[in-house]
Amino acid sequence: MADRTLLGIVGSVSADSRTRTAVERALEAAADAHGVETELLHLADYDLATADGRGIDNYEGDTADALQLIVEADAYVVGTPVYRGSYSGALKNLLDMVPRGQWQGDVAPFENAAVGLLATGATDHHFLAVDQELRPAFAFFGAHTVGGAAYATADHFEERELVEEPVRERLETLGEATIELAAAIDKSEALGSLGPAI
């Protein structure tokens, strides 16, 4: 599994991001447990174009760089802050530019890929956003999401440092599980060819 690349996508435009801290914890655990290479795509670091239906090859600059990271990765840990009960608009904009192999380009990076999901929010009230909003978005791409997700609130952090041990452990397990799911997909003819429903 050491030749696999795990990309962490941070759907926050805040440079000082709790979501980034959580994604990095999952990536570090996956690297420690399985020796995978990790990369980070934090949307705060990229000046992305607005999705407008153009093909993936028609983007330039930061947008092209961000999409290339997604295309080249083998598995993903995707984290988002929760706003109004859903994932961030910045992440939605990015996902709107990722092709499915039918439109916007002949690649489908999320298809049959393992994806671990996590979210952060001010309180416990929005933890279902992962399953009600983010998981269906990846089902649209034909991704295989890890069955459990992780959710962290503001109370789990001090100065952006994650201090709640059970949450740390869940994030670590999520990172490791994402790589183990990717390995299972590689070994299964059915999981590796299921793809999007439509």
Residue 188 DSSP code: -
User: CA-CA distance, 35 to 45, in Å (whole number)?
Assistant: 26
Regarding predicted confidence, which is higher, 151 or 124? 151
CA 194 to chain centre: 20
Q: What is the mean pLDDT of the chain?
A: 95
Regarding predicted confidence, which is higher, 84 or 18? 18
Torsion angle of the four alpha carbons 34, 36, 42, 46, in this order, in degrees rounded to the nearest 10 = -170
Lowest-pLDDT choice from 118-122, 126-130, 151-155, 192-196: 126-130
User: CA-CA distance, 58 to 64, in Å (whole number)?
Assistant: 8
Q: Give the pLDDT confidence of 33-92 residue by residue, as tens digits.
A: 999 999 999 999 999 999 999 999 999 999 999 999 999 999 999 999 999 889 999 999
CA atoms within 13 A on the CB side of 7: 20
Q: Give the pLDDT confidence of 102-124 residue by residue, as tens digits.
A: 778 899 999 999 999 999 998 88
pTM above 0.85, yes or no: yes
| Fold that domain 5-187 belongs to in CATH | Rossmann fold (3.40.50)
